[in-house]
Chain A
């Protein structure tokens, strides 16, 4: 007797979402099965990796990542072009960290110019992120959304404390939107409900349940993402069906395993390999939990994860 693989049937699906402008626009989501279980359903779009760039030269990244962009990180336009042309990025994520009150406190006016400059220099889709400062992001993301009007970007992150303003900006300028909550699945659902109650279409939404690095709470992120996917796919919970974002780089490249020097911890081996592995392993765990869009920093880690995606799909 031949062996028949037992199959689950699911009632729900992940919503698909397209961002950027043709011909370089990118599609994510759309699967009606759990992550990579393609024998039980269809997975029309592979997970996508966006390269993170910043509006100011990053001074808090470990040298091993800084060195990758040393010749372009003083200028977001050059940096974006490098990611697109040399690293063949599918998407770019511009983090406006320089707007944070403790990191330069750039004005919304400055932001508009940077966003416009980057958008006219590259044609891959752009994700525009604030500095994760609830009050400041409200004004920064409004300016960014307006400057990027017509480019079908993803903007974020809308949080409980600023979502009304950020949602209104995304609505007005027809962008996609990341809704972020802090490792609480019930609050993630609640925020999605509140945002759609403002008239924002759930097909334009992404969920960020908050990332964390391997060894620093990854299992919490994993569990929340996994439960979001189970609710979407198995319970057909429409509020939990937007694609998931994993903002990996910013959580990974601040843990000591990625920057402790080889002279301090010789038993940990090569500092660069270690950092790349930390980012790649964290990202792959997110993928297996259900992430559709990753935001990452080190080209070698991106390459490793990209290959893994090719092998798994």
Chain B
């Protein structure tokens, strides 16, 4: 399992302020702590970065790789910023990962850049039609992305298909559809396609206390169907690895000693698989 540390994101206030003032320390600290917790890649999300995005991405890549010997996942919709990041990226620690191309025409340029800089690329199965309705539609979009990658000269083994995790609080039925999509993505090519998810979006909008619970058990279910990589909090994922056996036991119908934990696992799996309706207080019912 490849973990892509998610913490360096413009959405976080501390990170945003550090980006704007070009203060490297908070960003470097986040990169180092994620690396220590087991992250293989560090995600660098600078958002649309319309104003001097190239300067910002270059500075981010250099600042992070000065301290951390890891490849980066370059996360922006701005191709100019992305190219600046790819130029600055030190491939000595591994090839960069582009986040992301999709089936939207304005994102095709990401494939061109992947080919030009020998980078890997995430293919988000999102098209002009908006949110895909089910696993099958996600596969149709995946096939189009794969065909386009071939046109641009990006080998299929350099593509990570991303089924687009949605919030369980508002789109509960998609949680199980994404699991199906991860299974199906692997079947549309031999050797199987690589897969990745933006994991924590599953619990976006949920109360703080239950977010790690949903993230961890969702991660285990995805791992069980062969997920290759997750953009996630590496500390949470390390905990998930430790709890994996417990979850397996509960799924197999075994009783486990920690009753509270057992109920937490059962209720969470039922919510993820859409067997009970989600509510913020679902663990209290």
CB distance from B271 to the nearest CB of A (A): 10
The 4 closest A-B pairs by CB, nearest first: A189-B279, A190-B279, A193-B281, A231-B277
CB distance from A223 to the nearest CB of B (A): 12
Q: What does the 1/0 interface line of B265-285 toward A look like (CB < 8 Å)?
A: 000000000011111110011
Q: With an 8 A cutoff between CB atoms, is B262 at the interface? A: no
Please tell me if the beta carbons of B277 and A237 are within 8 angstroms of each other in the complex.
Answer: yes
Known: A235-B276, A237-B276. A186 touches B169 (CB 8 A): yes
| Nearest residue, chain A, Cβ from B173 | A227
Known: A186-B169, A186-B170, A186-B172. A235 touches B275 (CB 8 A): yes
Please tell me if the beta carbons of A239 and B279 are within 8 angstroms of each other in the complex.
Answer: yes
Q: How many A residues are at the interface, by size bracket?
A: 10 to 19
- What residues of chain B lie closer than 8 Å to A185, measured between beta carbons? 277
- What residues of chain B lie closer than 8 Å to A189, measured between beta carbons? 277-279
Q: How many B residues are at the interface, by size bracket?
A: 10 to 19
- What residues of chain B lie closer than 8 Å to A197, measured between beta carbons? 281, 284
- What residues of chain B lie closer than 8 Å to A127, measured between beta carbons? none
Within 8 A of B (CB), among A77-101: none
- What residues of chain B lie closer than 8 Å to A238, measured between beta carbons? 285
In the complex, A190→B277 CA distance in Å?
A: 10
Known: A186-B169, A186-B170, A186-B172. A193 touches B284 (CB 8 A): yes
Q: What does the 1/0 interface line of B92-108 toward A look like (CB < 8 Å)?
A: 00000000000000000
Please tell me if the beta carbons of A193 and B276 are within 8 angstroms of each other in the complex.
Answer: no
Q: With an 8 A cutoff between CB atoms, is A240 at the interface? A: yes
Please tell me if the beta carbons of B284 and A186 are within 8 angstroms of each other in the complex.
Answer: no
- What residues of chain A lie closer than 8 Å to B278, measured between beta carbons? 186, 189
CB distance from B267 to the nearest CB of A (A): 12
Within 8 A of A (CB), among B237-285: 275-281, 284-285
Q: Find B285's partner among A187, A193, A227, A231 (CB 8 Å cutoff).
A: A193
- What residues of chain B lie closer than 8 Å to A313, measured between beta carbons? none
- What residues of chain A lie closer than 8 Å to B280, measured between beta carbons? 186, 190
In the complex, A237→B170 CA distance in Å?
A: 18
- What residues of chain B lie closer than 8 Å to A184, measured between beta carbons? 170
Known: A186-B170, A186-B172, A239-B285. A193 touches B279 (CB 8 A): yes
Q: With an 8 A cutoff between CB atoms, is A172 at the interface? A: no
In the complex, A235→B280 CA distance in Å?
A: 18
In the complex, A17→B222 CA distance in Å?
A: 43
- A-B pairs with beta carbons under 8 Å apart, 6 shown: A186-B280, A190-B280, A231-B277, A235-B276, A239-B277, A239-B279
| Nearest residue, chain A, Cβ from B170 | A186
| Nearest residue, chain A, Cβ from B169 | A186
- What residues of chain A lie closer than 8 Å to B275, measured between beta carbons? 235
Q: With an 8 A cutoff between CB atoms, is A194 at the interface? A: yes
| Nearest residue, chain A, Cβ from B275 | A235
Q: What does the 1/0 interface line of A189-227 toward B look like (CB < 8 Å)?
A: 110011001000000000000000000000000000001
Q: Find A235's partner among B169, B277, B279, B285 (CB 8 Å cutoff).
A: B277
- What residues of chain B lie closer than 8 Å to A231, measured between beta carbons? 276-277
- What residues of chain A lie closer than 8 Å to B281, measured between beta carbons? 190, 193-194, 197
Q: Find A240's partner among B172, B277, B284 (CB 8 Å cutoff).
A: B277
CB distance from A166 to the nearest CB of B (A): 19
- What residues of chain A lie closer than 8 Å to B276, measured between beta carbons? 231, 235, 237
In the complex, A193→B278 CA distance in Å?
A: 11
In the complex, A238→B278 CA distance in Å?
A: 13
Other A-B contacts than A190-B281, A194-B281, 20 sampled, CB-CB below 8 A, are: A184-B170, A185-B277, A186-B172, A186-B278, A186-B279, A186-B280, A187-B279, A189-B278, A189-B279, A190-B279, A190-B280, A193-B279, A193-B281, A193-B284, A193-B285, A235-B275, A235-B277, A237-B276, A237-B277, A240-B277
